[in-house]
A and B are shown apart, each in its own frame.
Chain A
Amino acid sequence: MGAAPASRDVTSYGMGLAAPLALFFLLFFVAPLLQLFWLSLHNDTAGLHWGLGQYLHFLTDPFSLGVLGSTLLLGAEVTAVCLVLGFPIAWLYQRVGPKLQTIIILIVLLPLLTSVVVRTFAWIVILGRQGIINATLQSLGIIDTPLKLLYTQFGVVIALAQVQMPLMTLPLITALGRIDPNLDDASCSLGAGSWRTFFRVVLPLSLPGLIAGCTLTYAAAITAFITQSLIGGGQMLFMPMYLYQQASTLQNWPFAAAISIIFLLAVLAVVSVFTTLGRMSRGYGGA
């Protein structure tokens, strides 16, 4: 805006209006996280002796590392399932009339706004020993004894994928909507088939939305405490429950703080990898 410095710009507001929220975040978001970090640097539960003991404990303990590994893997699996199922929804959205478009959006949106406990509960009903899948397979005579679906990795992945699907689909719908439809036609009229056009034109151009969707899905899937604990059951332990057990049941706050910091750093690392990829793809997608 090239307005003369004397005349105040009437189209923007002063930064002072952001001060109350900035102060609120400083007190109740930044300060708690700093305090968490500070506590994680202590070797004893009382927080008197400085040291990296908690981190050393976590990083040399095969059990803890296993929990971290399985949590990061779970996020990758859920993200992959959401991408494979979510992309066709976004594709279909661009091909149908406005009425159907609204219906698709509302179907995608509803789970996002429905209580997570309710959605997870639904999967217990579906995957349980007397659940729909087992009842159907048994009545068709395909199986004799009920399959174990609940409390398995498969169950957790499919339930989490359904719970997080909107986070993947909404950015993809936005990204596909920005692609010039003529490019699709041009590619086809130049002789590329539909599959080739999809993988060589549509998919690369949708990368910004795809990466945004993957970031949100991944971050949400690995922290989804309720779904992980109800569908995974007692045998499967992921970072959020591990953190909760150490903090609440065992009252081992410094170790819980160290788990939190390691978990935070892991999420930040994944998010920044995605963000970097997103920045690299933007030149590509904006072309």
Chain B
Amino acid sequence: MSGRKRTLEAISFELVMTVIAVIALVIIIAPSLVVLIVSFTSGFSLRFPPPGYSLRWYAELWNAWQLHFAAKNSLIVALWATGLSVTLGVAAALAISRSQALSARLLDSLFMSPLVLPALAFGLAALMLFSLVGLPVSPLTLVIGHTVVCVPYVVRNTVAALAQLEPTLLESSAVLGASRLYTFRRIVLPLIRPGIIAGAFIAFMSSFDNVPVSLFLRDAATDMLPIRMWQDLEGKLDVTIAALSGVLIIATVALVAVMERVTGLSRRLTN
């Protein structure tokens, strides 16, 4: 690169690419910053820039019991769905990761398909099946539905972690007399743990944020946070939602920072 002549042509190319990249990065980050700033407004509207700053809408949030109720439901469902996804997903990933068999490849495609199929169609399908077998809408149906759409993240990240595991490590462990279970506990699990945690984290976030499946599998008694927020926004533009968005943005940034430390999330998603 150092030897390249800095012709006008080369400069024009780099200028255009850099300018578009910077504009794109600003477009990506700006909306979150805007919401964060607006959430501290002292006024009653979503005007930007705000007429003044205060914490009044965050205080308002404290009394918004409907949002509290929905947030609690979302949290419980997300925790159960993540737990179930990790249990089923890690086991499945172990089975299919090193296998070249056709059955393993087919299972892999099956487990990944919720990522590309329209989740809304699946939500409707799940509701129809549950009502056919007489299972009423409940936190249980929500956990089942969420697990289907969240488990691909666990499988994918665990398979990726297993692919980087040196097979010779397992062979040496076996040669030295360790049982398969012992090798798994002491060698495999510690090495793939960051991958599992990264997958579990993404599964948790996507369950907490899920709309298309929850839309069909919840009722008034199992109100979910993103749907509550959506319905509030359909009705009126409430500044309380801006404060709630502020809380969610800050929580996401904090969680991503922790995950980056624990699992190297950014490297994991680009290799």
Contacts and interface: CB of A to CB of B under 8 A. Distances in A.
Contact of A267 (B30, B116, B128): B116
B114 A13 contact: no
Nearest to A159: B31
Interface in B183-219: 183, 202, 205, 208-209, 211-212, 215-216
Given A122-B35, A193-B10, A117 B211 contact: yes
A257 B107 CA distance: 26
A118 B128 CA distance: 30
Nearest to B255: A113
B116 to A, nearest CB: 5
A35 B128 contact: yes
A226 B126 contact: no
B20 A85 contact: yes
A113 B251 CA distance: 10
A14 B98 CA distance: 10
A240 B120 contact: yes
Interface string B121-146: 11011111100100000000000110
B21 A89 contact: yes
A79 interface: no
B59 interface: no
A36 B124 contact: yes
B29 A107 contact: yes
Given A115-B248, A219-B116, A31 B226 contact: no
A118 B270 contact: no
Interface string A169-211: 0100110010001001100110001110010000000000000
Contacts of B116: 215-216, 219, 267, 271
Contacts of A195: 9, 12-13
Interface in B208-236: 208-209, 211-212, 215-216, 226, 229-230, 233-234
B171 A10 contact: yes
B23 A85 contact: yes
Interface stretch (A53-61, A124-132, A277-285): A124-132
A104 interface: yes
Contacts of A244: 120, 215
B99 interface: yes
Contacts of A18: 91-92, 95-96, 104, 107
Most buried by B among A15, A18, A261, A264: A18
B260 interface: yes
Given A107-B25, A257-B128, A260-B121, A12 B230 contact: no
Contacts of A222: 118
Nearest to B91: A17
A91 B252 CA distance: 27
A105 B209 contact: no
Interface in B244-271: 245, 248-249, 252-253, 255-256, 260, 265-266, 269-271
Contact of A230 (B18, B170, B233): B233
A17 B45 contact: no
B175 to A, nearest CB: 9
Interface string A258-279: 0011011001100100000000
B125 A32 contact: yes
Given A92-B21, A105-B266, A256-B124, 14 more contacts: A10-B180, A12-B99, A25-B111, A28-B148, A85-B27, A110-B29, A111-B31, A117-B226, A125-B34, A194-B13, A216-B115, A226-B226, A248-B216, A263-B121
The 5 closest A-B pairs by CB, nearest first: A122-B31, A194-B13, A32-B125, A18-B95, A260-B121
